[in-house]
Amino acid sequence: MTTRRLPGARPEAPAAIRPAAPPPVDAQLRAERAAANAGLPTVEFAEATPYETYVGVRQLQALVRPVTDHPAEPAFLVVTQVMELWFTLLRREWELAQRQLRADDLDGAVASVRRSVHHLRSLDASWGSLLWLTPAEFNGFRDSLGEASGFQSYEYRHVEFLLGLKAESVVRPHRGLPVVHADLQRALAAPSLEDDVLAFLARRGLPVPAAVLARDRTVTHEPDPAVTGLWAEVYRDPRPSNELFALGEALTDVAEVFTTWRQRHVTAVRRAMGAKPGSGGSAGLVWLERSAARVVFPDLWAARTTV
């Protein structure tokens, strides 16, 4: 089956860097192999298994490169790397939702947003693998991390930008990587997921103010009374048949679970290092608490007061 690429979709990776794919197998061939194997798995392969070819296990294992011999560091590193993968998946889902909204495919966009909520819950659950980390254990390898800090995660910045949390200052650390820096500058000025939602609502005839549709996209979104009122009107009809209510609830789920993840981040830092200065030059816990207090989709939350 050929998948239609929506306008604005990311181009596929060049063949030179695209990972090799295992040979495709259809339903008939799977049935024939199962019959030939008497129902047992295939165990003979001339080269690497198709699983290794597809997943790249050896490449993943090679990325687990602790810089100390402390037994706590591998878990810290792997959890951080896993979170980066979740950020990448969230970015893909929300960029897909944007393209679907621009194509007026509301059902597809809601499905993408709802999938992302499950990804966010898995991202949040990742903190469970670090609950045991005590200050003494963290101190056992922290100095060797140098100035490496989660603040420097550019994929996380894409996630924040897509949620409307914008700031030019967080792009600056990546000037040394021109491709990354250019991509972040583009994302800073590009519409957020909320911008595309509001543009969709405007095309549906809802009274989204022109000033909101044309607002500066490089700064964090602030609540707007007219948009709050618009969502309040949508929420006065919570029937399952109200597709805009379903969209609002899916976005609220995103905001809620993302906020939970940030709050657990604060708790994890407080537990492992207290109020010590951060590795990346910040005040540490105080700075993180301030950052985590920013509200995602503020109009959706404000509307609940007026319904």
Q: What is the pLDDT of residues 66-120, one digit of tens each?
A: 999 999 999 999 999 999 999 999 999 999 999 999 999 999 999 999 999 999 9
* Domain closes at, from 38, 59, 80: 59
Inside any domain, residue 226: yes
pLDDT of residue 15: 41
Given a contact cutoff of 8 angstroms between Cβ atoms, the answer to whether 197 and 268 are in contact is: no
The predicted model gives 33-39 an average pLDDT of 93
Comparing 9-13, 74-78, 121-125, 270-274, which segment has the lowest mean pLDDT? 9-13
Which pLDDT band, with edges at 50, 70 and 90, does 2 fall under? very low
Length of the chain: 307
Q: Judge whether 9 lies within some domain.
A: no
200 shares its domain with 55: no
- Classify residue 122: in a domain, yes or no: yes
Judge if 32 and 165 occupy the same domain.
no
| 266 and 288 Cβ atoms separated by less than 8 Å | yes
Please state the domain count of the chain: 2
Tell me the average pLDDT across 19-31.
Answer: 87
Is residue 279 predicted with pLDDT exceeding 90?
no
Instruction: Find the mean pLDDT for residues 258-277.
Output: 90
What pLDDT shows up at residue 87? 98
CATH at 105: 1.20.58.480
Domain with 291, as residue range(s), is 71-306
Do the annotations mark residue 142 as ligand-binding? yes
Tell me if 37 is assigned to some domain: yes
65 marked among binding-site residues: no
> In the block, which residue shows the tokens 């040394």?
176
Same domain, 209 and 155: yes
Are residues 151 and 102 located together in one domain of the fold? yes
Q: What is the pLDDT of residue 283?
A: 67
Identify whether 106 is part of a domain. yes
Question: Is 3 within a domain?
Answer: no
55/75 same-domain check = no
